[in-house]
Every structure is written in C-alpha cells, then in structure tokens.
Structure 1
Amino acid sequence: MIRVGDLERSIRFYTEILGMKLLRKEDFPDGKFTLAFVGFGDERHDSVIELTYNWGVHGYNLGDAFGHIAIEVEDIYDAVERIRRAGGEILREAGPMKYGTTVIAFVADPDGYKIELIGKE
C-alpha cells in the first residue's frame, strides 16, 4: 500500500503509463479515505498495489524506510521508451545494475515513489 496525494492522477499513471488495470476502487466516507487497487492481473493470482487517498491530504514525506516497487518487464528498453512517450519520468535509463548483469531502469510515479523495472533474463 502506498499513500497518494491525488488518486485520479495516480490511477492514470499506473494504468495509462505502466499499463496496469484499475481492479477496484471504493470510498470509505466514515474514515475519509478511498482505496484503489491496480495491477497487471486479477488479485487472486497476481500481486497488486493498493493506492490509498486520505481525503484532504495532498502530499506525504516518503521517509527513508521505503525503497522502491520492483516490476519485471518483458522488454526493458521498450518499456522505458513507452513510459517516456507517455510522459513518465525516467530516473535511470535501462542498463546493467552496478554489481551484476541484470538490466534495470527506474521511473517515478506522480508522488515520487520509485519504481524499478527489471528486464526479463
């Protein structure tokens, strides 16, 4: 789960730029928050990300405990170019990781969360 400052902006990023699907979204008026679940497949079989929007909160200090979300992609170079063309922020171009040969890249979501793309080997 990650907390987001603008739920619709985050849903657009994860669905339109990363290619996930909005699986479900629900408001909780008594708690003053909305949950949205995004992923590449059904929650019963695939990992998903829970986006939490606390009504009236438009930003968070990301802290130093959270590192990043990691997603394996079929063609990392194509994924980076597709994200760039869609307006996504590329933090690190695709290339071998520092202490190995796995090809990785990093992008940022609208709230500044880092997402590592890992090339399929």
Structure 2
Amino acid sequence: MQFRFAHNNFNVRDLERSLKFYDEALGLKEVRRINAKDGSFTIVYLSDGSTPHQLELTWLRDWDKPYNLGDNEFHLALSVDDFGAAHHRHQQMGCICFENPAMGIYFISDPDGYWVEIIPSKM
C-alpha cells in the first residue's frame, strides 16, 4: 500500500478574488471545477502545471464570515526557480507577510489570510 499527496484545501470567501490572486502571485491555473447543483458550493482545483499536487479552493455560498485559521502555522510551500523575481513580484503585490532572510525564505498571505511559503528551488 502506498499513499500519495493529491491536494490541499483552502476555504475561500470570494472565489474569483482568490483565483485571480493565485494566478497572479503563483501562476496556478484552474484545471477542474465542481459546482453543486443547488449552488451551495463550488470547488476549484488549481495546478502548477508541472507536479500532480493541486490546491483545492472551496467556496461555500452560506458562509458569511472570515474563516478562523487558528493559531497553528499550517501553510503550503512552493519552490521557485527565480527567487529574486518572485520576491519582487510579491513585494509589488503587497502580499509578503513574513520574511526570514537567514533561512532564505519568505511567506505571502492570500486574500483569506492563508500563508504560502516561497523557497528557492536550490536550497
């Protein structure tokens, strides 16, 4: 028996805003969408185009408050081949929420407050 990563899920309040953010910030593209017949939810899967792992964004029609992300420090991590260019882009977008120069990494925050760690491909 062997388990493989398939996806991670983030619940989002404004699906279109989140799709725009993940495309602009990380180049993640929609590859699949599930719409509830009654309109109560939409699930969108995003891909980086090179790995099988996906990010699932779930929008719930009746959710009317910010998500409580708690005190734990869960996050996604993506590596990038041009760390300097990525950092510049995220600086311009104003989405860098934490930097650790000693470790050579930084984090961006999405519109719902989820953190994404950015690491150079060659660490």
TM range (shorter): 0.7 to 0.9
Q: Aligned partners of 1:76 and 1:105: how far apart in 2?
A: 10
Structure 2, unaligned runs of 5 or more: 1-8
Q: What does residue 100 of structure 1 align with? A: none
Is it true that 1:49 corresponds to 2:55 in the alignment?
yes
Q: Counterpart amino acid of 2:58?
A: T
Q: Aligned-pair distance for 1:78?
A: 1.1
Give the equivalent residue in structure 2 for 1:95. 101
Deviation of residue 113 (structure 1)?
A: 0.3
CA distance in 2, matches of 1:18, 1:118: 12
TM-score normalised over the length of structure 2: 0.81
Distance 1:20 1:36 in 2: 11
User: Would you say 1:78 and 2:78 are equivalent positions?
Assistant: no
Which among 11, 20, 28 is matched to residue 28 of structure 2? 20
C-alpha deviation, 1:46, in angstroms: 1.8
SS in 1 for 2:20: helix
- Which residue is equivalent to 1:62? 69
Structure 2 residue identity aligned to 1:21: K
Q: State the shift of 1:19 in Å.
A: 1.0
Residue by residue over 1:45-68, the C-alpha shift from the partner in whole angstroms, topping out at 9 and shown as x without a partner, is 521100000113142111234511
Q: TM-score with structure 1 length normalisation?
A: 0.82
CA deviation profile, 1:40-96 (whole Å, cap 9, x unmatched): 126xx52110000011314211123451111111121210111233x2411124623
Distance 1:80 1:46 in 2: 25
Would the alpha carbon gap of residues 94 and 79 (structure 1) be closer, same or farther in structure 2, given more than 3 Å must change?
farther
Matching residue's letter, 1:92:
F
Partner of 2:106: 105
For each residue in 1:3-47, what CA deviation from the matched residue of structure 2 results, as whole angstroms up to 9, or x when unmatched?
Answer: 0011110000111221111112221134711001112126xx521
Could you list the runs of 4 or more consecutive aligned residues of structure 1 that deviate by over 6 angstroms after TM superposition? Answer: none
